[in-house]
Amino acid sequence: MKAPLMKSQRIAPAELAWTAQQPVVGRPGVTRLSAALEEAGLKPVRLEIVDDRETIDFVLARTEAARRWGEGQTLRLLIRIFRASGFQIGFSELGIGDFNEQTLFGSTLCGPVDRICEKGGIQIEP
């Protein structure tokens, strides 16, 4: 089941600039992604690659430390974590569907929206 995404908003130039400054490290890998999420206090309950490697749906349990962050802070953290795990994504690709005290769920494209639209899914390491 796909996570419903929040209504779209225009992405500010400052957000695009911030995203461009976040390094994309290595090839996309689910094991690195899962470990980085857990280290940040967002324990993966479910990470599911769907749509022929075009999308990742996720459910994350928020630790006590992670509960202090607002939705905007969490969104930026997720973008940093995904990029550090090799996924070239930003505000255009990632959406949070439900954000509450205990969990959050959402979905992201596995790569840049224009690349996914043109060529489809990407290679993802375990």
DSSP for residue 101: S
Render pLDDT for 13-30 as a digit per residue (tens, 0 to 9).
999 899 999 999 999 999
Render pLDDT for 20-61 as a digit per residue (tens, 0 to 9).
999 999 999 999 999 999 999 999 999 999 989 999 999 999
Residue boundaries of the structural domains of the chain: 25-119
> What's this model's pTM, rounded to 2 decimal places?
0.89
DSSP symbols for 26-70: SS-BHHHHHHHHHHTTEEEEEEEEETTTTEEEEEEEEPTTGGGS-
Residue 18: Cβ-neighbour burial (10 angstroms; 0-12, 13-18, 19+): middle
